[in-house]
Structure 1
């Protein structure tokens, strides 16, 4: 296998992605900001992926990958970029299969993994409470795509326009239909002159989706609904964010909150202990305390100052700086 990787060096990023939408979004957000040539290694998992990373790594780090065809990688990358627990054993193994040992950057702390010190940089959100080390950097939120649109006609005449992003279940924390009915009705009551746009997520329970659709039938102020689990059309989220004056998001999704807090628009977070873990609640409170977001109770109230988090840019600058330092040492 080692002979397969005795190829010419080439300045590009080898980005490893899997089937988790959040992981993919983080990787593509960083790639966009790095502005470097890249190749994608899109991996699928078999049943062995349920085992802890430490076990997978003891047996080589590749056995949980389905139909891995690493021989298609023709050149040594400058950088390996991965995200999420299950990609870490593969990325860690690939680093030492390539000649020259490319720089290895991982997003999200890979729990129960071996040889973390072999990874050059690990970026992990501060709410994960991972102790900072030389190669572990805490971030506020997670990398997220930033899409600034221009010269697009707004089809919604009734203002203010509110965009509501709804997450879903995670672990023992369940997002219930009654909770979302309450949230939507509060928005409709307060935003009685405006328009409401709604996007759910792949984690949103089907019962919640049905409740949303039922509410929309009797409320003409709900102008647009997108369900990633059901709709096969192109995801309109970047357009919906562009049109909206107010952004409301449930507190169970760190990735959705991180994405919205990049825009120069008021972000109102709706959260409680019924559907949000302590980790998520602490994250929401930290963003609110530092002025990046507001509690839902402030909905439609004027914001004198709106701060934006620039996690994606900060991570990308750190990566580029480290790579340049490594080049200067050669």
Structure 2
């Protein structure tokens, strides 16, 4: 008699009927991303959503401010107060022509908006998002809300307060407010530098109560080394294919230089730019002078016109030189596992100096001096903050009886 062959159990990759998955209201299938128009913030949220498998099932909203004229001096105010003052001034003095730039909407995000087309972005409306979370809950389950940047804190925390049973709210970067206003906060370790002995020494005693964070991280906090981003193996493989014709013929080794700009915690000027140019010429063994750098056949300079070759750079580079000001650019380069040299870290202060120190101690970066042999490679365990943050999100969701199902 032939044995009876029972059917194989359903494969986890094939999915199973929802009646076997438990409460349908415990499954997250969609996300709302709340951005502020700046790539350094928005790409962190989009990177996390991508790592959770929801990159094709999210909607991007933006918290935007009036721009131009006196508005550029009011960015320290909460967004709602800023907009209120704008409308008052506009009504009283007809100030709009002085504030609104030619051909730009008064609430249009600046050119820093990054790679997301404005046609696909909605103005962040608290009431609309809360109503959507409530009205679609029975049909589509809970809503994952991911926000990043100071201007998004108020709306993200309000969504949590008004629709706590229908949403799971994640705030990326320390919100400088009560962490319990969010389900989860994801922030770099160096955001807690003010609490270290070194940080405390740099703050006068009478100012310490005003420096945030004032308390150590609790169960609401996931700490990363650097910034989250959208760079992973699949993205690099796709970029390598897309940019093959442009970068494959270039002489090897290929050195990519990413230049940001000075910040309050990392100040530099023309002197560092000249030093960088001299060092680059040194490692390229080139005889051209700086003003002819763009004509050097060994050098490719992006002129700012689309398409942006940044992903191609990450995929094809043999090594990177990155200015010390940008946590995001450094984090993305360090996710490749390729040599990363930093220019200007000795000029950084406060928590940015702590960030660079942590990378050097891990052997992830080295200072750029101009005497390096770029053909001599070195490696390290690539930074994997985004994947690790996604794992922690899954754990936090499970504690609340939730899970993500792309």
TM-score, structure 2 normalization: 0.64
In the other structure, the counterpart of 1:140 is 225
Matches within 5 A, 1:91-240: 91-98=156-163, 100-111=165-176, 113=177, 115-129=178-192, 130=213, 131-146=216-231, 147-149=235-237, 150-151=240-241, 152-153=244-245, 154-171=247-264, 173-192=266-285, 214-226=291-303, 231-240=304-313
Q: Aligned-pair distance for 1:304? A: 4.5
In the other structure, the counterpart of 1:39 is 59
Distance 2:266 2:29 in 1: 44
Which moved further from structure 2: 318-327 or 16-25? Answer: 318-327
Paired positions, count:
289
Distance 2:154 2:126 in 1: 14
* DSSP 3-state at the match of 1:44: coil
In the other structure, the counterpart of 1:203 is none
CA contact 1:23–1:84 (8 Å) conserved in 2 = yes
Q: Which runs of 5+ in 1 are unaligned?
A: 1-7, 60-65, 194-210
Alignment of 1:281 onto 2:344: no
CA contact 1:249–1:270 (8 Å) conserved in 2 = yes
TM-score, structure 1 normalization: 0.77
CA gap of 1:328–1:180, structure 2 versus 1, over 3 A, is closer
Bigger strand fraction: 1
Alignment of 1:244 onto 2:317: yes
Q: Deviations over 1:223-271 (max 9, x none)?
A: 2324xxxx24122101012221111111111111111100021111112
* DSSP 3-state at the match of 1:234: coil
Which moved further from structure 2: 292-301 or 261-270? Answer: 292-301
Q: Aligned-pair distance for 1:281? A: 2.4
In the other structure, the counterpart of 2:119 is none
Matches within 5 A, 1:74-93: 74=132, 75-76=136-137, 77-93=142-158
Q: Deviations over 1:70-114 (max 9, x none)?
A: 555433542211011110110110123336241111100022x3x
Name the structure, 1 or 2, with higher relative contact order (CA <8 Å, separation 6+).
Answer: 2
Bigger helix fraction: 2
Q: Aligned-pair distance for 1:181? A: 2.2
In the other structure, the counterpart of 2:41 is 23
In the other structure, the counterpart of 2:381 is 307
In the other structure, the counterpart of 2:32 is 14
Which moved further from structure 2: 76-85 or 310-319? Answer: 76-85
Q: Which has the larger radius of gyration?
A: 2
